[in-house]
A and B are shown apart, each in its own frame.
Chain A
Amino acid sequence: MRLVLVGTSHHHAPVELRERVALDRERGSTLAERLADGGGEAVVLSTCNRTELYVAAVDIDAAERAAVAALAELEAEVEPALYRLRDHAAALHLFRVAAGLDSLVPGEGEILGQVRTAHDAGTTRTLLDRVFRQALHAGRKVRAQTAIGETPASVSSAAAALAEQVFGDLDGRSILLVGAGKISEQAARNLLSRRARIAFVANRTLDHAADLAERFGAEPLPLDRLEEHLATADVVVSSTSAPGYVLDAPAVERALRTRRGRQLLLIDLAVPRDLDPAIHELDGCYLYDIDDLEAIVSETLVGRRGEAERAEAIVAAEAEKFREWQASLDVVPAIASLRARAEEIREAELRKAEGLLGRLDESQRNAVEAITSQIVNKLLHLPTVRMKQAAAAADGVIYADAVRHLFGLGEDER
């Protein structure tokens, strides 16, 4: 059984093409079943950045043709944008994908869950089950041993990470959203995922504020009541379409008097800006606008690329382990035949000696069984180990053939 990968990704195809070969979980699962028909295995990994078909089959050329045809059925124009990888190269690619090294944003964490989902929805047996499990292991290992996924990769996650730099654990920290649009909501969700509490939603149109506030269990406010709630908020996230400042420095300064030195983080995601830049000069206030956050994200992406070098080494080591395991599959049938043959001989010899053994009691018979089994196991231990080592060094097939020849394995069938 060998492994083949056929697919396309953001490196090879624009979004207009990728979206035409994208498959949801159900359709991916159906396609995997179809490709695995006849004793093979298949997994379909389809995300917004890639659609990849992993197929394990004995006839690898036929499997590759079937996979290409399946994608061409979805969109004929995709064929020039397809890549085809086999065995070790296919496994290495999957490991890099799972580790986020092939992603648009290096180290992004979402892909690991998508690989897991694809594995669950696929038709897997020995080979694909192993390669996907090892890919998930490699992805987790990269995240644990490098800092590739630790830094934020978007403006809203950078805002949440900044809040953690000021307050530490955000559990129960009070958030005041100014503006009820998509950007506010996205930033709010990021803060919520870190257990912060959306306490207030302020907007020029109170109905819009009420809609968003209801979703977060917050209190809606008109913009003119913003100042009075600054005293209790820890983080202010603003993204209105107001032409001028919705909050100026004197208003914040007045609110600071009742805060007893508590820090206040203000995130201004609006263009033109909502928050007076002079607020940043106030003691205990930290104001970041969209440019500041984008500069931070760019910097963290540079860091991610640096960490990617370390991640590549981890992934390469995991791919090598997989190669060794896959190579050992070449000698497994020979080892199994050899052990079966040895066991057959042992049992036959014991049967021949039945006349002598018949006079032994139960415990003596058990002792004879144990001793003969030990002799067989010890005799076969070293050849088994050596064959596996030879398989890892790519000589496995030669050794397996030699063993079959020397011990006459499989000759009875012929």
Chain B
Amino acid sequence: MAELLFWPTLLLYGEAAFGYFGYARRAGAAGRAAIWGVRLGWLAQTALLAVQATREGGFPWGTWAGSLNLFVWLVVTVYLGVRRPYRLLGLAVMPLAAALLVVSRAGGGTGTGARSHYSNLFLVLHVGLVLAAFAGFTLAAALSAFYIWQERRLKRREVTILRRQAPSLATLDRLASRAVLFSLPALTLGLAVGLVRLFADGRRVDAVVVATALTWVVWSAYLVLRAARGWSGRRAAYVALAGFALVIVVRLALPAAHFA
């Protein structure tokens, strides 16, 4: 059953990614096809997660690949929530979602039967909150990348700037900061729950915990510098991309260090 749901999800996300490429070149049918790809793909992935969660082994949140599957779902969910005025953001989000889904499958994260030895409450509070925060940071990074691209077009005085219109600089900047504002508390809480459990079990801090704490520092700096020093626009966008680089490091380090 999970197999039956994985392929439509991947195909629809892939179709959406190609659709957004077409949409970036010319508004019209490609954009409509893309958004339907996102919607139907999201429904298929939601069903996949539901099937995984109801199987005897439970949803594999406790595995890096399973959490990656959930992470992709969260990213697409957040995108669906904000995409109306920023449809072109799908150009950054959907290829990433499709690629990560393939990685998740390669690691066994889209199948069923992988049992986690953690309790559901812990998984929701720790893995769920950290992944939700990472999804928000991914969105913030996508918006920041978009900002840098749009700013470069303005600086280069590209003649196509009004023909291929993107969201305004101010909008991208504001939306990215809001995504961080909502995501940072989730990361803080998720990290705290994980640390409490870690110390309660008498285990030592591993590399992933350190990298996640560093991620927290960078994203906190994003908000602090913005409020205290007026760091917005391009400088804030670069900080966001640095924070996202750490999110990737944490995700890549998970299978080796955290789920071992």
Enumerate chain A interface residues (CB-CB to B < 8 A): 147, 150-152, 158, 161-162, 164-168, 259-263, 280, 283-284, 286, 288, 292, 295-296, 298-300, 303
Contact = CB atoms under 8 A, between A and B. Distances in A.
A166 B232 contact: no
B27 to A, nearest CB: 6
5 contacts: A165-B150, A166-B169, A167-B169, A292-B157, A296-B159
Given A147-B27, A292-B157, A299-B159, A165 B232 contact: no
B232 A152 contact: no
A283 B235 CA distance: 9
Interface string B133-171: 000000000000000001000110101111101111111
Contacts of A259: 230
B234 interface: yes
B168 A166 contact: yes
Nearest to A170: B168
A162 B161 contact: yes
B21 interface: no
Contacts of B234: 283-284
Given A164-B168, A260-B230, A288 B163 contact: no
Contacts of A303: 163
A263 B163 contact: no
Contacts, number: 66
Contact of B163 (A164, A168, A300): A300
B22 interface: no
B233 interface: yes
Contacts of B235: 261, 283
A109 to B, nearest CB: 16
A337 B105 CA distance: 73
Nearest to B225: A261
Closest 4 CB pairs of A and B: A260-B230, A168-B168, A261-B232, A299-B159
Contacts of A286: 154-155
Interface of B: 27, 150, 154-155, 157, 159-163, 165-171, 230-236
B159 A295 contact: yes
Contacts of B162: 151-152, 158, 161-162, 165, 296, 299-300
Contacts of A260: 230, 232
A168 B230 contact: no
Contacts of A280: 155
B159 A298 contact: yes
A299 B163 contact: yes
A261 B169 contact: no
Contacts of B169: 165-167, 263
B163 A151 contact: yes
A204 to B, nearest CB: 28
B222 to A, nearest CB: 13
Contacts of B230: 259-261
A263 B159 contact: no
Contacts of A263: 169-170, 233
A168 B167 contact: yes
Interface centre among B162, B169, B230 (most CB of A within 10 A): B162
Contacts of A158: 162
Nearest to B154: A286
Contacts of A150: 165
A298 B163 CA distance: 11
B168 A296 contact: no
Q: Which residue of B155, B170, B234 has the most chain A CB atoms within 10 A of its CB atom? A: B170
